[in-house]
Amino acid sequence: MKRIYSKAAAIFTSALAGTLLFSGLASAHVTVKPSASKPEAYETYTIKIPVEKEIATTKVAIKIPAGVDFKNYQPEPGWKVETTKDNAGKVTAVTWTAEGAGIEPGQFQQFNFVAKNPAKDTSIAWDAYQYYKDGSVVEWTGDGGENPHSVTTISESAEGAAAADSGHDDHHAAGGDSTSGGTSGTSGTTGNTSATGSTDTTSSAGNEAATGQAAASTSTDNSGSSTAQTISIVLSAAALLVSLAALWISILFVRRIKR
């Protein structure tokens, strides 16, 4: 009898492992799009934050890579935006803080901002920090592994790749500085960022120029997000069916042996 239950337990354990594997494949990370853009382009970037825990995300911070000139952001209802500047007045980090419940489990949020790319071909890494309601922080700062940061390739030949996941705008007029209308505060509000200087809470009214520019990027990324979510649901459903089938087979197997 012990052997029978051992076999049933082995079957169920294998099914459960398959479910966990599919769940891991379906998980999402904090990403910044587009993944490719041209030198000196005034690009509309989109940071997407999914919730991977059973508690809400209440704050998100992103470091602006060296060589990237942050210009302005698209206002998002229910979120306060703060920028951290260095002694030269250059924005080194941007922080979005929820004024309400934040991003609940099973949801994701997107924020759009405009920045001018470096003048030469390079790769820029976007270090991001995701703050949860319980005080825990997930640092998306690695070159790989479980918490990788997003990387954007800056290259003259990247226009085709950039068009696939974003719409950048080369008109410099759309990228005028709008971060200069805020009120200086204290440094260090970005949490784990290494930037120093003053924190500038930017006026939403000064960022209307970025709104139209960011709309195209948002709609394109939403399409990709819907596809990714559909695939995740299908994989999770398939894994659940496999687990249930394995459990049912193990029950029938035990009953048949008893007879």
Looking at residue 251, its pLDDT comes to 73
Angle in degrees, 0-180, between the axes of helices 208-258 and 2-26, rounded to the nearest 10: 170
Residue 146 pLDDT level (bands cut at 50, 70, 90): confident
Distance CA 242, CA 226 (A): 24
Mean pLDDT across 197-220: 42
Q: What is the CA radius of gyration of the chain?
A: 23
Range of lowest pLDDT (88-92, 118-122, 141-145, 161-165): 161-165
DSSP 48-93: EEE--SSS-EEEEEEEPPTT-EEEEE---TTEEEEEEE-TTS-EEE
Beta strands in 148-242 (DSSP E): 150-154, 183-184, 199-201
Of the candidates 10, 20, 26, 53, the residue with the CA atom closest to the CA atom of residue 240: 20
Q: How far is CA 133 from CA 38, 78, 96, 97, 163, in A?
A: 37, 16, 14, 11, 36
- Is the pLDDT at 97 greater than 90, yes or no? yes
Answer yes or no: are the C-beta atoms of 44 and 174 closer than 8 Å.
Answer: no
Q: Which helix (H) or strand (E) holds 215?
A: helix 208-258
Residue 68 pLDDT level (bands cut at 50, 70, 90): very high
What tokens does 145 get? Answer: 């592994």
Q: How far is CA 222 from CA 36, 49, 73, 119, 135, in A?
A: 18, 12, 18, 29, 29
Residue 229 pLDDT level (bands cut at 50, 70, 90): low
Mean pLDDT across 161-167: 51
CATH numbers and ranges of domains, the chain: 2-25+230-253 (no CATH), 28-226 (2.60.40.2230)
pLDDT mean across residues, the chain: 72
Q: Is 64 exposed, middle or buried (0-12, 13-18, 19+ CB in 10 A)?
A: buried
Looking at residue 149, its pLDDT comes to 92
Percent of the chain at pLDDT > 70 equals 53
CB hemisphere CA count around 124 (13 angstroms): 30
**Which tens digits make up the pLDDT trace of 178-193?**
443 333 333 333 444 4
